[in-house]
Amino acid sequence: MKIKILLAFTFVVLFSINNYAQNNWKLDYDEALELAKIEKKPVLILFTGSDWCPPCKRLHSAIFHSAEFENWAKDHLILVLADFPRRRENQLPKEQKIKNNNLAKKFGLRGFPTVFLVNNYGKILDKKVGYGGESPKEYIQNIIQKTNSIH
């Protein structure tokens, strides 16, 4: 019975990570930044606690898993996911934990969810902590406004 439960939780974690990967979320910031330079796109970095943080869960479902955001982002952003799950069954591989912790230190992470928008050279354009209930359209418009202000 315990093995079945462990397998079920493992499947859920892998499905969640795979779901982000399928939606063009990168798990390596440095690789994402290199891609951003090539494609001349800004990078959106999501710091989240996917299995324990209620505002993170709302942000995921309302914005990042919406068709409107996904369709827009694939042409306009490079997406990076830095997840910090707490449940034992959702733990990331050690290498990914190290990458996420280093990225959190680099950006001075202080809370969840936090979203950074950086240009294709890593300069911070915007930082947003929490989720205020915006619609996907409002969220996209805010990103457009922040990225247009650098041109």
Could you report the per-residue pLDDT of 62-103, keeping only the tens digit for each? 999 999 999 999 999 999 999 999 999 999 999 999 999 999
Number of domains in the chain: 1
Going by pLDDT thresholds of 50, 70 and 90, the confidence category of residue 9 is very low
CATH number of 50's domain: 3.40.30.10
Whole-angstrom distance, CA of residue 97 vs CA of residue 83: 8
Could you report the per-residue pLDDT of 11-21, keeping only the tens digit for each? 544 444 444 44
Give the residue numbers spanning the domain of 12. Answer: 2-148
